[in-house]
């Protein structure tokens, strides 16, 4: 059962019920550090359920048990938490270049913006990374976080969220519009996932793994065999060929027991 107090305790924010940017920053970062992105948690046994998601059951799996989840699970739960605390939350949709190529839908990713004291902030606890660790203000300025820089660039009718590390060039995290969305807008994504699951007969060799967790000064992402670590804005990428190492890194990432 969804419970605000239990949620706050789980992410190390017991009693943090203020509606202000300092509290929002703490809720956002602590959530990312405590609850991993884990593409393997959503049960598709009865088919994908993005629109009519059981929030109580999802809360138990993703938050209480700490198993994490995808954007459709984590950002939906976080939106409910913020709303019940009194924040003004708007549901948004985004797409990555890879996701657009795969499904051709602009609702590949789910996240939010929060309106607070006349300013808008992007809020996203459901992206594996690398991305912003604290809420990102919607403005024209370049914003720095833990050694990385972020900016929002208008591209026609869409906005591109871009990131740059200390020694890397600007690259697009995802693109979006500020058009408010409804949960029902993800029905097309639900149908796409249903078709993909039915057609998937490939080997389970670790190449489909997608997990991420935030560190105090960066993020760790395991995408297939690609292991990315960002610390203080410095990106380090390795390709993991050893199965035992791959399993060990995945276990450490999901449990948060890495250095």
Which of the residues 13, 28, 124, 235 is marked catalytic? Answer: 124
Has 112 been annotated as catalytic?
no
Q: Are 146 and 130 in contact (CB under 8 A)?
A: no
The position carrying tokens 């029905």 is 187
Has 200 been annotated as catalytic?
no
Has 109 been annotated as catalytic?
yes
Which of the residues 62, 71, 103, 211 is marked catalytic? Answer: 71
Which of the residues 28, 31, 109, 227 is marked catalytic? Answer: 109
Written in H, E and C, the secondary structure of 139-198 is CCCCEEECCEEEEEEEECCEEEEEEECCCCCCEEEEEECCCCCCHHHHHHHHHHHHHHHH
First to last CA, the chain: 33
Instruction: List, in order, residues 6 or more apart from 24 with CB less than 8 Å away.
Output: 82, 87, 114, 116, 121, 123, 135
Positions annotated as catalytic residues are 71, 109, 124
């Amino acid at each position: 059962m969804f419970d605000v107090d239990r949620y706050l305790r789980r992410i190390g924010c017991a009693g943090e019920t203020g509606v202000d940017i300092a509290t929002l920053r703490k809720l956002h970062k602590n959530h990312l550090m405590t609850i991993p992105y884990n593409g393997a948690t959503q049960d598709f046994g009865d088919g994908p359920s993005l629109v009519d998601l059981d929030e109580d059951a999802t809360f138990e799996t993703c938050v209480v048990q700490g198993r994490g989840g995808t954007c459709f699970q984590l950002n939906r739960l976080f939106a409910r938490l913020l709303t019940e605390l009194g924040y003004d939350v708007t549901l948004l949709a985004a797409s990555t270049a890879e996701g657009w190529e795969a499904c051709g839908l602009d609702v590949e990713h789910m996240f939010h913006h929060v309106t607070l004291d006349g300013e808008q902030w992007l809020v996203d606890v459901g992206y594996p990374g690398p991305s912003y660790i604290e809420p990102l203000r919607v403005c024209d300025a370049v914003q720095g976080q833990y050694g990385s820089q972020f900016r929002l660039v208008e591209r026609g009718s869409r906005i591109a969220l871009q990131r740059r590390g200390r020694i890397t060039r600007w690259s697009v995290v995802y693109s979006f519009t500020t058009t408010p969305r409804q949960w029902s807008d993800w029905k097309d994504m639900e149908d796409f996932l249903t078709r993909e699951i039915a057609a998937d007969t490939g080997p389970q060799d670790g190449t489909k793994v997608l997990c991420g967790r935030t560190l105090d000064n960066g993020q760790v992402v395991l995408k297939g065999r690609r292991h990315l670590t960002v610390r203080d804005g410095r990106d380090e990428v390795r390709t993991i060929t050893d199965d035992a190492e791959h399993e060990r890194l995945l276990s450490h990432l999901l449990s948060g027991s890495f250095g």
